[in-house]
Chains A and B, each alone.
Chain A
Amino acid sequence: MIETHDVYYTYPNGFEALKGVSLAIETGEFVAIMGENGAGKTTLIKHFNGLMKPTRGSVVVDGRDTKKVTVATLSRDVGLVFQNPDHQLFSETVEDEIAFGLRNFGFDDKTIERRVDWALNLLNISQYRTTSPFILSGGERKRVALSSVLSWDPKIVVLDEPTIGQDYLQKERLRQFIMQLNTQGKTVVIVTHDVEFVADCKPRVVLMSKGRLLADGSSEKILTDDKLLEEASIIPPQVAQLFWQLKFNNAGREIIDVYEAAEILAREIRERMN
């Protein structure tokens, strides 16, 4: 479980990026943090593995105050994938990149080998096993960064913009994997601007704006609240927009899923035409 208690964070240049954030994420939850550029999302999640320490307030992960444990210890349990993969990758081959973390956490060679294979397959990068991460495409690099963290199977997975550079098939793979983690009782936190990905995954949504929490609720509720979304610089999912435009009274309220939308629309259209 992650708890932040009235967290403030001020960067060295004096900019206050977090202004009293109190949030609880239970073990086994799947949460998407959304909000405008500069809202403080990345700053917030860097507090989850102790990479950043609050200027004021506290962050407690599974009962441990992040000010009292090392980042190394926390990272074993809280795997954080950065927004920009270039801030994370440094090894000469993709394989070494994935093995690095595993070695660091003291896994034996056999386990390392097995986990590297598993992680390479997971997000479709096996063909780049011996390639340098630096010559891969942006989307491929992102998948290497994701795979290397997922390889050590942290209890809490925190992904900053995981769908950047990914096509729909890769996103589907990622979504299915996240769902699988979630059914295993893992906690998953993503930061994302990808509204349609959120509409497909339907996690709990935490909206941030200007260093503060703006709203917290189900994806269906938050992603169909146009006023709130606008405040956080988000455009509602296409399906939600369509229902508003059609003004079908109650039909379609809080619908963000395209298959569900098709069902409801087909029914509604038939009824109205009869």
Chain B
Amino acid sequence: MPIIDLKNVTYRYFDVEKPALKDLDLEIDEGDFVIITGPSGCGKTTICRCFNGLIPHFYNGELSGKIVVAGLDVKETQTSVLSQHVGFVFQNPENQLFALSVEKDVAFSLENIGLAREEIVERVEWALEMTGIIELREKAPYELSGGQQQRVAIASVLAMKPEVVVLDEPTSFLDPLSAKRIFEVISSLNKDLGITVVLVEHRLDLASEYANEAVVMDEGKVSFVGTPRDVFNDRDVWALGVGIPKVTRLGHYLKERGIDLGGVALTPSEAADLIRGYMNR
């Protein structure tokens, strides 16, 4: 059974004529690691707001269709209940930070769900460590750089270890190595704890290898679904303006020069393997 199930979802923001989501269907299975990508403004954030109930409970637009997350009907369930199942990292980290220190921010939701003191301490340490912000623990959010704030937002959500983690462009402010490190942490949570991951990303060169499914949205619809390899190799997906990994593109450019590697690479090491294999034929 899918852990996220959207059927015929159409959503219009208040006072906006054009729907942000149009008759959209999407199923995400438990334990999946899904990347959602697509042009700026295509509805990625809007769909995320449906997963945690911000839509319809905090945005008074017009919603039709069915949204079920972790077995709960989102329309009928309070966001406070949904948030125990779905962790959400906002696109803008500032919208998420409010406590006086990094440490307190990360501990806040844990205290709220009434975990034992030692458990809280342990999880806070773990999350700070995983996101590389141990040395920032005493700092106030406004004293942090953009990327540092974003890590705090991620740490707060990961510390909760919810069934589903939804991350909306969570690495937009992160330097590349830190972004990769975050993807690795999320990936290990996905593999070891079976946490379902929904990751909205433009940085496909770094993120693709961790996902088992890619969803490409366009104009409020799901246009393509499949393995990242199939989806990002599709020239129709390129045409939408999705940031295809360079080595994936390279495969096509080589083919145009008469060299068919016979496979699709998402990472440089996959490309190197394909090229070596080609030369040894």
Q: Please tell me if B279 contacts chain A, counting CB pairs below 8 Å.
A: yes
Q: Which residue of A lies closest to B281 (CB)?
A: A273
Tell me whether A168 and B268 are in contact in the complex, defined as CB-CB below 8 angstroms, given that A37-B145, A84-B146 are known contacts: no
Residues on A with beta carbons closer than 8 Å to the beta carbon of B278: 269
Q: Please tell me if B253 contacts chain A, counting CB pairs below 8 Å.
A: yes
User: Using a Cβ–Cβ cut-off of 8 Å, how many residues does chain B contribute to the interface with A?
Assistant: 56
Residues on A with beta carbons closer than 8 Å to the beta carbon of B202: 165-168
CB of A138 within 8 A of CB of B91, answer yes
Q: Which residue of A lies closest to B203 (CB)?
A: A194
CB of A164 within 8 A of CB of B250, answer no
Residues on B with beta carbons closer than 8 Å to the beta carbon of A269: 254, 259, 275, 278-279
Q: Which residue of A lies closest to B90 (CB)?
A: A138
CB distance from A92 to the nearest CB of B (A): 13
In chain A, residues 176-202, which have Cβ atoms closer than 8 Å to a Cβ of chain B?
Answer: 193, 195-196, 199
In chain B, residues 84-122, which have Cβ atoms closer than 8 Å to a Cβ of chain A?
Answer: 91-92, 94
A140-175 CB contact bits vs B (8 Å, 1 = yes)? 100100000000000000000100111111111000
In chain B, residues 236-281, which have Cβ atoms closer than 8 Å to a Cβ of chain A?
Answer: 240-247, 249-250, 253-254, 256-259, 267-269, 271-272, 275-276, 278-279
Docked pose: A130 CA to B144 CA in angstroms: 34
CB of B40 within 8 A of CB of A165, answer yes
CB of B272 within 8 A of CB of A246, answer yes
Q: Please tell me if B205 contacts chain A, counting CB pairs below 8 Å.
A: yes
CB of B39 within 8 A of CB of A258, answer no
CB of B175 within 8 A of CB of A36, answer yes
Tell me whether A262 and B148 are in contact in the complex, defined as CB-CB below 8 angstroms, given that A84-B92, A137-B45, A269-B278 are known contacts: no
Docked pose: A75 CA to B262 CA in angstroms: 54
CB of A167 within 8 A of CB of B38, answer yes
A28-40 CB contact bits vs B (8 Å, 1 = yes)? 0000000111100
Q: Chain B interface: which of A2-10, A58-66, A96-104, A230-238?
A: A230-238
Residues on A with beta carbons closer than 8 Å to the beta carbon of B267: 238
CB distance from B129 to the nearest CB of A (A): 16
Which residue in B144, B176, B257, B258 is a CB contact (below 8 Å) of A193? B176
Docked pose: A138 CA to B40 CA in angstroms: 8
Which residue in B41, B173, B250 is a CB contact (below 8 Å) of A242? B250
B30-50 CB contact bits vs A (8 Å, 1 = yes)? 000000001111001100000
29 A-B residue pairs with Cβ-Cβ distance under 8 Å, sorted by A, are A37-B175, A37-B178, A38-B144, A38-B145, A135-B16, A136-B41, A138-B169, A165-B40, A167-B40, A167-B243, A168-B241, A170-B40, A193-B147, A193-B173, A196-B243, A230-B177, A235-B177, A241-B268, A242-B247, A242-B275, A245-B268, A245-B271, A246-B276, A258-B249, A261-B250, A263-B257, A265-B254, A265-B275, A266-B258
Give me the 5 closest cross-chain CB pairs, A-B, nearest first: A37-B147, A139-B40, A169-B241, A262-B253, A241-B268
Residues on A close to B: CB < 8 A?
11, 13, 15, 35-38, 42, 83-84, 86, 135-140, 143, 161, 164-172, 193, 195-196, 199, 230, 232-235, 237-239, 241-242, 245-246, 258-259, 261-263, 265-266, 269-270, 272-273
Instruction: Give me 18 other A-B pairs in contact (C-beta within 8 A), A164-B172, A164-B173 excluded.
Output: A37-B148, A83-B173, A137-B40, A137-B41, A165-B40, A166-B202, A169-B241, A193-B174, A193-B176, A199-B246, A235-B206, A238-B246, A239-B250, A242-B250, A242-B268, A242-B275, A262-B256, A266-B254
